[in-house]
Amino acid sequence: MRLMAVMESQRLAAERHFYLTDDLQALVPFSHLDFAGPAGVEAGVIDPRLQDNKTDFQKQNVRDFLLTDTYLLRGWVTPSAWVDLEAKEPIPDTIVPFLKLSYRGGPDSRLAAALGRLPSASIKLFLKVNGREAGGLISVPYDEASDRYEIELWGDCGKDLQAVFGAGSPRGLEALKRGELIVRPDLIQGVQSDFDREGKDGVDIRGVSHDCAMHPLNPLKIEVAWADESGQVWDSNDGANYRYEFNMLLRGWDAHLKAGQSSNPHGGVGVLHYRNLLSNYFGFAGSGELGRDIEPWQFDASGNKAAGPRREPFFSVDYADLHILKNNCGIGLHRHRDNQEIFFLLQGQAIMASGDWYQFPDRERCFELRTLRAGHFAMVKPGGLHGIMNVTDSDIHLLMFGGYD
């Protein structure tokens, strides 16, 4: 519920109708987690290496967390329909990605502490997106309504946003004038039509517009550091910069490895349309998505431990459950020591949360939030934080399956 409140409190630079809101994805970085241990007599065992009791799936619930100063949001955006004055018909919009970065205002941010005072009306941002540097510091204005410094970077939609917003979008026009909204196609690449189904039979989607900031499969890597207006005082993670990654493993009808058609499938009749979602076969044999690395203190699929680290290239299933979640029902944020699990939404719409419970060398710990629609699933690796929330008025039907516990 706290994460839902964080996500809902974020302001977009332009009016809401410019955004495909069901496709918004948030990264909420955190610096500290408090856990409640497994159930029963071992509830106080917080060290995952010692959680050998399988009666509660070696589960730990998130009791509390401490957020950092930064918040990130990405999604698809499009100007409202533009009218061709000669043809008197609307010209279809180009739908492009956007990326929003937000930094805490007030005296409790790390930048304010380093300055010994409140930052000024704007701060500076060092930014890399998928390894591409912005080519200079970006000025980020303060937004009094959110008490945060915020910048929204759009891809190139091929339209004059000054004219689009001037025709009836006072909020977007103001954001454009203040520098809160900027167009940076050098950093925010790709268009939604790159992933249209037509003409892509047998194509590995990982290679299609691979640098798109809203690629359905490939992670988006972002490197960030914040500075005062002069560029002299920094919140830069002690010089290492902050590294974030949108990387939830989500698949479905519009997020697949490969699609195509098969006539007379397996000696049958008619034409089958397929989507490869996860695979160890043929061109995907080295993807590793279905496998997991096993630490010495973890159980393998056969319930054994070994002296050194191992690799299992497969996904083992020990259970498959159906769930119905009512309105305002949610599966709380938690993690399993060994378990690999899939949340497959059969009916309805829900918010899926995932994240890293420990610090990786190449990325900060974050909660990642996305919308799951019917036909979508999210796959959670061992130890990964995860939870799901039904914020709609209708029941959602959820298939869950996994193994190793």
Q: What is the DSSP letter of 92?
A: P
Sign of CA dihedral 28, 400, 358, 216: negative
Q: Which two structure tokens, joined as six digits, stand for 139?
A: 């000025």
Confidence (pLDDT) at 20 = 94
Confidence (pLDDT) at 28 = 97
**Residue in the structure block whose two tokens are 């493993």:** 249
Q: What is the DSSP letter of 318?
A: S
- The residue ranges of DSSP E strands in 194-303, in sequence order, are 220-227, 234-235, 242-246, 249-251, 258-263, 271-276, 292-294
Sign of CA dihedral 359, 51, 1, 330: positive
Residue-level pLDDT, tens digit, the chain, 405 residues: 889 888 888 889 999 989 999 999 999 999 999 998 887 777 888 888 888 877 777 788 999 999 999 999 999 999 865 444 454 454 567 899 999 999 999 999 999 999 999 999 999 999 999 999 999 999 999 999 999 999 999 999 888 999 889 988 899 999 999 999 999 999 999 999 999 999 999 999 999 999 999 999 999 999 999 999 999 999 999 999 999 999 999 999 999 999 999 999 999 999 999 999 999 999 999 889 999 999 999 989 988 998 888 999 999 999 999 999 999 999 999 999 898 999 999 999 999 999 998 899 999 999 999 999 999 999 999 999 999 999 999 999 999 999 876
Q: Do 235 and 243 meet the contact criterion of CB atoms below 8 Å apart? A: no
Q: Which two structure tokens, joined as six digits, stand for 180?
A: 């809160």
Confidence (pLDDT) at 79 = 81
Phi, psi (rounded to 5 degrees) for 56: -130, 35
Alpha helices, DSSP H, located in 231-357: none
Which ranges in the chain are annotated with CATH 2.60.120.10? Answer: 252-403
Burial class from Cβ neighbours inside 10 Å (0-12, 13-18, 19+) for residue 239 reads: exposed
Which of 280, 281, 342, 346 is CA-nearest to residue 314? 280
Phi, psi (rounded to 5 degrees) for 171: -70, -45
Burial class from Cβ neighbours inside 10 Å (0-12, 13-18, 19+) for residue 11 reads: middle
Report the length, in residues, of the chain.
Answer: 405
Adjacent-strand bridge partners of 255 = 252
Q: In Å, how far are 170, 325, 341 from 394, measured between CA atoms?
A: 35, 9, 24
- Fold adopted by 252-403: Jelly Rolls (2.60.120)
Predicted structure pTM score: 0.94
Confidence (pLDDT) at 84 = 46
Pick left, alpha or beta for residue 174 (phi over 0 → left; psi -120 to 50 → alpha; otherwise beta): alpha
